[in-house]
């Protein structure tokens, strides 16, 4: 039986090396395949006898050894929706079960992949190069948090992003302790020439205890006695743009024996007639101590029924924050605006989709807004190498791999792709060793055959 056993073992060796060669061939063929994980070959010996004194070297069997946890090189890509995973994790995807009426239907199980070459298709789905559709978690635009915990196949549309009415204007500025108004420039040696003079107005009192107005006939006087405070575009409920212009007027000064106080105005009507309201006081007196700090502090002021040129915006909060408005010396004598922005915007059409390094899908709109609309979860497994391989670089969970665990520690890298983890040089080395082992097994078959021939010839 020894000769027949040797021949059988050699044939098993040929089969094992053929299996190894098949894996090497597949690895080399997929050396440029995005997200590919090579398959190595492990060999296990087969014991022919249970008797310790009669055991032989035995046969061999070849087994696949997965390398799903081995990272491929991350390469920069020029597509905004391409992504790679650095570290642990898999994208969650699905394969459509059919395309009735040309639209995909998803009723299958979740699959997992490292292939991140996702692009928008004609229906607004993110699909990778192997035809797998990305699943993600929607984000609540108001809170920035994800909605639910089960990822869904997301479809992006060209629907307009609705406009948002301005409700908050953030405004921080420093007011020069000596404002160089036109009135001051005309009489720099006159004490208090930088102050607004209510008696110089032919119409209504612009101060009126912090709730006054400037009529059209007095605009020129008001501009001479105040300094510019900045301008910003705000939006009404329909997304119409309006320009809010601000001006500061100093009402009293410590240098003339009073307190350093200011009042703020906004342009309500740029086409005001003689008796129409042109500028309106926001209704707040700003008083500063000797250190140039507001006393008391004014964190915010509400402008009720803000209206610009006949278009109503509504109630708007003018937010200054903590010590956001100060009065320090400034040789230029102007209001230095440090912060001026608002939270409204016009309606916008979807322009593009991109993936951030935080693993979130960001939509960019024609109104300049960029909004995070979905988060890409990463799945991990306790037994990564026990996943079932599918065509196109996808994997399916098995009883040996365990169920998917969301919240993998890997990091998504935007505009990048993970390359194959095949090492060509290493595969060529394995190819040479496999070829030599295969050739050696053929010699054993040849030798065993010659020995059998000798045995047969011995009888003749």
CB–CB of 288/233 below 8 Å?
no
- CATH code linked to domain 168-342: 2.60.98.20
Residue 6: what pLDDT? 82
pLDDT value of residue 141: 80
Asked if residues 296 and 256 have their Cβ atoms less than 8 Å apart, the reply is: no
Domain boundaries in the chain?
A: 2-67+421-459, 74-157+376-418, 168-342
- pLDDT at residue 99, rounded to an integer: 87
For each of the chain's 460 residues, which pLDDT tens digit applies? Answer: 578 778 888 888 899 999 999 999 999 999 999 999 999 999 988 876 666 566 666 789 999 999 999 999 999 998 999 999 999 999 999 999 888 888 898 888 999 999 999 999 999 999 999 999 999 999 998 788 999 889 999 888 888 888 999 999 999 999 999 999 999 999 999 999 999 999 999 999 999 766 899 999 999 999 999 999 999 999 999 999 999 999 999 999 999 999 999 999 999 999 999 999 999 999 999 999 999 999 999 999 999 999 999 999 999 999 999 999 999 999 999 999 999 999 999 999 999 999 998 899 999 999 888 999 999 999 999 999 999 999 999 999 999 999 999 999 999 999 999 999 999 999 999 999 999 999 998 998 898 888 888 888 877 6
What 3-state class would DSSP assign to 251?
A: strand
Which residue in 306, 325, 308 sits closest to 316, CA to CA?
Answer: 306
Say whether 247 sits in a helix, a strand or coil. Answer: strand
Contact status, residue 65 vs residue 41, Cβ threshold 8 Å? yes
Task: Dump strand ranges (E) for 268-421.
Answer: 277-288, 300-308, 311-319, 325-326, 335-342, 348-355, 360-365, 370-375, 378-380, 388-390, 394-396, 405-406, 411-414, 416-418
Neighbouring residues of 53: CB distance < 8 A, sequence distance ≥ 6: none
Alpha-carbon span 134 to 375, nearest angstrom = 11
């Amino acid at each position: 039986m020894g000769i027949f056993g040797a021949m059988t073992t050699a044939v098993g060796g040929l089969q094992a090396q053929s299996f190894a060669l098949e894996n090497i061939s597949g690895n080399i063929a997929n050396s440029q395949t995005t997200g590919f994980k090579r398959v190595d070959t492990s060999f296990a010996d087969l014991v022919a006898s249970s008797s310790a004194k009669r055991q032989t070297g035995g046969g061999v069997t070849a087994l696949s050894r997965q390398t799903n946890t081995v990272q491929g090189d991350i390469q920069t890509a020029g597509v905004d929706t391409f992504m790679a995973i650095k570290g642990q994790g898999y994208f969650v995807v699905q394969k459509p079960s059919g395309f009735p009426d040309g639209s995909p239907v998803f009723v299958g199980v979740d699959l997992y992949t490292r292939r991140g070459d996702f692009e928008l298709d004609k229906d607004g789905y993110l699909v990778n190069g192997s035809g797998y559709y990305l699943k993600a978690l929607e984000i609540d635009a108001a809170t920035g948090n994800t909605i639910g915990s089960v990822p869904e196949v997301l479809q992006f549309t060209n629907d307009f992003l609705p406009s948002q009415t301005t409700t908050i204007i953030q405004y921080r500025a420093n007011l020069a302790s000596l404002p160089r108004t036109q009135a001051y420039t005309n009489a720099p040696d006159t004490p208090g020439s930088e102050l607004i003079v209510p008696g110089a107005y032919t119409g209504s009192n612009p101060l009126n205890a912090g709730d006054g107005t400037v009529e059209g006939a007095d605009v020129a006087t008001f501009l001479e006695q105040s300094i510019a405070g900045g301008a910003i575009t705000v939006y009404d409920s329909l997304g119409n743009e309006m320009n809010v212009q601000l001006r500061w007027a100093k009402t009293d000064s410590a240098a003339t024996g009073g307190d350093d106080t200011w009042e703020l105005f906004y342009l309500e009507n740029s086409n005001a007639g003689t008796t129409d309201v042109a500028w309106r006081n926001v209704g707040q007196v700003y008083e500063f101590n000797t250190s140039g700090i507001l006393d008391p502090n004014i964190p915010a002021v509400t402008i009720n029924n803000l209206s610009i040129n006949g278009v109503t915006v509504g109630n708007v909060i003018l937010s200054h924050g903590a010590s956001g408005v100060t009065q320090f010396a400034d040789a230029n004598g102007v209001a230095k605006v440090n912060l001026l922005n608002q939270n409204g915007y016009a309606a916008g059409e979807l322009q593009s989709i991109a993936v951030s390094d935080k693993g979130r899908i960001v939509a960019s709109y024609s109104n300049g807004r960029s909004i995070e609309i979905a988060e890409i979860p990463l799945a991990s497994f306790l037994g990564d190498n026990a996943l079932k391989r599918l065509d196109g670089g996808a994997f399916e969970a098995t009883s040996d791999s365990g169920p998917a665990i969301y919240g993998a520690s890997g990091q998504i890298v935007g505009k990048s792709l993970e390359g194959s983890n095949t090492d060509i040089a290493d595969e060529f080395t394995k190819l040479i060793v496999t070829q030599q082992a295969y050739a050696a097994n053929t010699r054993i078959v040849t030798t065993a055959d010659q020995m059998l021939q000798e045995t047969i010839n011995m009888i003749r």
